[in-house]
Amino acid sequence: MSIRDPERNFKVLWETFNRRYPFFQLRNVNWKKQYDTYRPRVTSKTSDNELFEIFCQMLAPLNDGHVELTAKAGAGRKKRYFNPEKQPRFRQEFTTREIKRLFKTTEKTLVDNSFGRPSATEAWMLRYCRSQKFGYIRILELEGVSKRRLTAALDKIAGDFRDLKGIILDIRDNPGGEDSIAIAIINRFCDRKRIAFHRKTKIGPGKDAFAPLKTWYLEPQGDVQFTGPIVLLTCDSVFSGGEAFALAIKELPHVTIVGDHTNGIFSYQLEKRLPNGWEYCLSYQVYLSADLVCYEGKGVPVDIKLLNKKTDIENGIDPLIRRALKVLKSKNAGPANETRDRRTRDD
């Protein structure tokens, strides 16, 4: 049974953020001041619409894409949704339809450079193609796939590793997913055991109220790993688990990141419900790189900055693919690249 009491709902929302949200200082928000500003505006007579607006105003300065508020439709009331994040540059540049056209341009650029067209694999979220020397893998998301299907897809792609001189991994516009899936993919490109990232969880009020730091590792998996030159393509419309992917793979010395920084919201979402039935989410985890750097609010940085623009569609050329191929070709001018045969190594 939902409880409409506006004052109680305000108290629950504010206190949950006060206990569990870790980024007030990073995002330059004084949460106590938000309470002092907005609590006097809430009374027992505050309407649902007024309360929703007050909540939106209080949460807006966080500019965090993992903060969400949803009021379901009711008698005489439409469903309402709020997210305080400013639109990423990539989404300002391209509509949803134009993003699809951009990736058609990506396919055309690959074909023009002697690749096949990216095709489906056993794992629905992986698209793969190759030329004589180079491979291309687009990672659409990092969830909704069984371990068996993901392993089968990666095993099949790995069958080409010995023939390839370089690989492009494309996570542009990746909405995220599971850290475990990100690490399972990266492990196929890993040369030795390395720290992927660290994570700590906010568990109470106070800036230091965190559970103990946990560490995730990369480690070679599969019969063979590709450890030659890799280019990762990113943009600021890469979120959450996609960012954990970028954070981890940048630890590999043979990876070059091209594009734009990722979005800067790494945490899983903590999902909650107010007494009145409204649903809300918030970030509650801090991700740190292997060397303990936090990229929250900034995103994982690139080695080579290059932005997609609408004119890429008109010109029929994806400049990030062209730059990635240029990087791979320049890397191949040096010492021979490697694959690591696990069966041989373990003998």
Query: Per the domain annotation, does 292 fall within a domain?
Result: yes
Residues 75 and 153 in one domain: no
**Number of domains observed in the structure of the chain:** 2
Q: What is the pLDDT of residues 129-143, one digit of tens each?
A: 999 999 999 999 999
Instruction: Check: CB of residue 124 under 8 Å from CB of residue 143.
Output: no
Residues 139 and 195 in one domain: yes
* Integer CA distances (angstroms), 105 to 100, 102, 258, 313, in order: 9, 5, 17, 6
Residues 139 and 183 in one domain: yes
Residues 130 and 31 in one domain: no
Distance CA 272, CA 286 (A): 19
**DSSP letter, residue 276:** T
Q: What is the pLDDT of residues 267-288, one digit of tens each?
A: 999 999 999 999 999 999 999 9
Of 43, 63, 82, which residue sits at a domain end? 82
Strand order in the sheet with 68-71: 80-82, 68-71, 279-283, 269-273
pTM to 2 decimals? Answer: 0.94
Instruction: Check: CB of residue 105 under 8 Å from CB of residue 139.
Output: no
Residues 238 and 137 in one domain: yes
Residues 150 and 109 in one domain: yes
Query: Per the domain annotation, does 278 fall within a domain?
Result: no
Q: What is the pLDDT of residues 83-107, one digit of tens each?
A: 999 999 999 999 999 999 999 999 9
Distance CA 248, CA 232 (A): 12
Q: What is the pLDDT of residues 279-314, one digit of tens each?
A: 999 999 999 999 999 999 999 999 999 999 999 999
Stretches where the chain sits below pLDDT 50 are 335-337, 342-347
Domain that holds residue 18: 6-82
Query: Per the domain annotation, does 279 fall within a domain?
Result: no
Closest CA to 237 of 111, 103, 126, 331: 103
Closest CA to 239 of 262, 272, 217: 262
Residues 76 and 110 in one domain: no
Residues 159 and 72 in one domain: no
Residues 54 and 98 in one domain: no
Q: Is 252 exposed, middle or buried (0-12, 13-18, 19+ CB in 10 A)?
A: middle
